[in-house]
Amino acid sequence: MEDVPALGDALPLVATDPRWLGIALADLDAVHADHLHCERKAAQSALSLIRSYPQHTDLVTAMARLAHDETRHVVQVSQLMSRRGQPAAYDFGDDYAAKLREHIRKGEPSLRLDRLLVFAVIEGRSAERLQLLADALEDPKSRELYASLATAEVRHRDIFLALARDADPTGWRARAAELAAIEAEILENRAISARIH
Ligand SMILES: [Fe+2]
Ligand SMILES: [Fe+2]
């Protein structure tokens, strides 16, 4: 059986542009406001996979647990915002995820594989950036929160990769590498802003 680090190696995401951290730290309110909705959307995405694939028992169980984690993250980010005296904000949309989703192929079995891998990419990118914030924030409680969230998102990335491997044992690695390259191109062509993605 394949071990967990080997799963993560299958998704070689490029490093975030070093300018992102400074831009994010300069407007933490914007980052937190966006982050709250990232966690909400992660929960909804996990539940949407249950709607689409109820016959896949392992997927249903894993996604129900993952959605549970993500709703807890919504609570944690919301509490952080309250502590900072920061009001909640509406979601201004997420063209990063939308651009990734454009590469999800139609028709099964490609559709399930690609949905799982796109979510793995988003989790992997979130984990990297939450860890960058954890290492840079001054407030000890915020550092601790962001470090714990980064750890959770790495675990989520690997859950999606394991489900992708189950969905297509021979093709998942090649498609993961393709989507990692596609994500690099998406990042390259969009402005850096005070958001998680
Ligand atoms: Fe999360
Ligand atoms: Fe997650």
pLDDT of res. 87: 84
111 C-alpha to center of ligand 1: Å?
23
CA distance linking residue 21 with residue 99, whole number of Å? 22
For tokens 């996604």, name the residue: 63
pTM here is: 0.95
- φ/ψ of residue 85, rounded to 5: 70, 30
Under DSSP, the state recorded for 197 is -
Looking at all shown ligands, the one closest to residue 148's CA atom is 1
Tell me what the pLDDT averaged over the chain comes to.
Answer: 95
Give pLDDT tens digits for 15-61: 999 999 999 999 999 999 999 999 999 999 999 999 999 999 999 99
CA distance linking residue 14 with residue 115, whole number of Å? 20
Give the amino acid at 151: T
73 C-alpha to center of ligand 1: Å?
5
45 C-alpha to center of ligand 2: Å?
10
pLDDT at 4 > cutoff 80:
no
pLDDT at 96 > cutoff 50:
yes
Give pLDDT tens digits for 178-191: 999 999 999 999 99
Domain chopping of the chain, boundaries? 4-188
Q: What's the topology of domain 4-188?
A: Ferritin (1.20.1260)
155 C-alpha to center of ligand 1: Å?
10
Maximum Cα–Cα distance across the chain: 50
Looking at all shown ligands, the one closest to residue 39's CA atom is 1
Looking at all shown ligands, the one closest to residue 119's CA atom is 2
94 C-alpha to center of ligand 1: Å?
16
109 C-alpha to center of ligand 1: Å?
27
122, 68 contact by CB (below 8 A):
no
Across 115-129, average pLDDT:
98
Taking alpha carbons only, the member of 131, 42, 28, 1 closest to residue 84 is 28
The pair of structure tokens assigned to 170 is: 């021979």
CA distance linking residue 160 with residue 175, whole number of Å? 13
pLDDT of res. 25: 97
The pair of structure tokens assigned to 66 is: 């993952």
Element (H or E) spanning 111, and its range?
A: helix 110-136
